[in-house]
Amino acid sequence: MTIEVKNIVKKFSAFAALDNVDLKVGKGELLALLGPSGSGKTTLLRIIAGLDWPDAGEVRIDGEDALGHGASERHVGFVFQHYALFRHMTVFENVAFGLRVQPRAVRKDEAAIRARVKELLDLVQLDWLANRYPSQLSGGQRQRIALARALAIEPRILLLDEPFGALDAKVRKELRQWLRSLHSEIHVTSIFVTHDQEEALEVANRVVVMDKGRIEQIGTPGDVYDNPATAFVHGFIGESIVLPVEVSGGSVRLGGRPLNIAADGAASGASKLFVRRHDMQIGPAGTGSLEGAVRHVRSFGPIQRAEIALMGGEGKTVIEIDAPRDRELQAGEIISLQPRRYRIFAVQD
């Protein structure tokens, strides 16, 4: 199924939670809605689900108007952050629930329901838990059962709202890989909401970055990481060093001192220079655009993370860089820094 969202506006009193949102989701995609708290992700998901209605705009599922239909008629499966399993039912009965309450005309007979539940429990690899109650499961197992339950009714679309949000970091990581391989098996058009960039980049085939009720960028994980369209996206995805610079006539200055980098078409005026921590090349003092004193170094695995106090005009600026460990940095050492890859964005008023 395809999903098309056109010019959606949703206001709560005067506040626009969604401000003219346009989005197309292709058949079988696994799309992430990524953004900080309050950016409008859940509101957009609820509107697609038919749990809430916009003030203006259209939602089309497979080309057909969806706004005239409620959630049950849209054949959508949901999984939320907080486990919504029925506590008094076994895992088996939880998964069977949606099948048992279907209208008589389409309801399967008992043997077919049992076969379908078994198939779903196999799919989420938890058939051995069929007779347990939700209180006897781990958080990760509950979310997998919640997913099996959502899939029982063969939804046209699967919507997941922070499905792993309440789980610890290790389990989250395992479930990400699990969700990706499950999706490649079932191919249901799916949208999941997350505020965790790593999760979005690792799981989704496309990422929609939202801020303040607007879409800032839509792209593959590679696109949004390597070619962020806005300062917000650069700052939100990956870890960036951000320095206030002045662009004039193609040259870039930091605190009055010229940096040996091209303005790359940036307009003249107050701007911000964004450099990823690992894209700051280090060298001996006097060889790069910037100079700084190493204040603190922590080494882990293949990298060393160093805190550097920049020297010159912006005397008090401290940045953190990630450097390979081919040359160990020492606290107190003066080094030079040169951005290898960078982006310049004008400061918005």
* Window 177-216: contact mask with ligand ATP (x via CB under 6 A): ------------------x---------------------
Contact between 12 and ligand ATP (CB under 6 A)? yes
Q: Closest distance between ligand ATP and the C-beta of residue 117, in Å?
A: 31
Residues 6+ apart with CB under 8 A from 262: 250, 252
Contact between 271 and ligand ATP (CB under 6 A)? no
Contact between 14 and ligand ATP (CB under 6 A)? no
Q: Closest distance between ligand ATP and the C-beta of residue 44, in Å?
A: 7
Contact between 317 and ligand ATP (CB under 6 A)? no
Q: Closest distance between ligand ATP and the C-beta of residue 49, in Å?
A: 12
Contact between 35 and ligand ATP (CB under 6 A)? yes
Residues 6+ apart with CB under 8 A from 14: none
Q: Which member of 3, 23, 34, 40 binds ligand ATP (CB under 6 A)?
A: 40
Query: How far from the centroid of its chain's Cα atoms is residue 295's Cα?
Result: 33
* Window 73-112: contact mask with ligand ATP (x via CB under 6 A): ----------------------------------------
Contact between 165 and ligand ATP (CB under 6 A)? no
Q: Which member of 43, 143, 190, 240 binds ligand ATP (CB under 6 A)?
A: 43
Q: Closest distance between ligand ATP and the C-beta of residue 162, in Å?
A: 7
Q: Closest distance between ligand ATP and the C-beta of residue 75, in Å?
A: 23
Q: What is the strand order of the sheet 3-12 is part of? A: 15-25, 3-12, 56-61, 64-65
Q: Which is nearer to ligand ATP, 37 or 348 (CB)?
A: 37
Q: Which is nearer to ligand ATP, 17 or 48 (CB)?
A: 17
Contacts to ligand ATP by CB under 6 A: 12, 17, 35, 37-43, 195
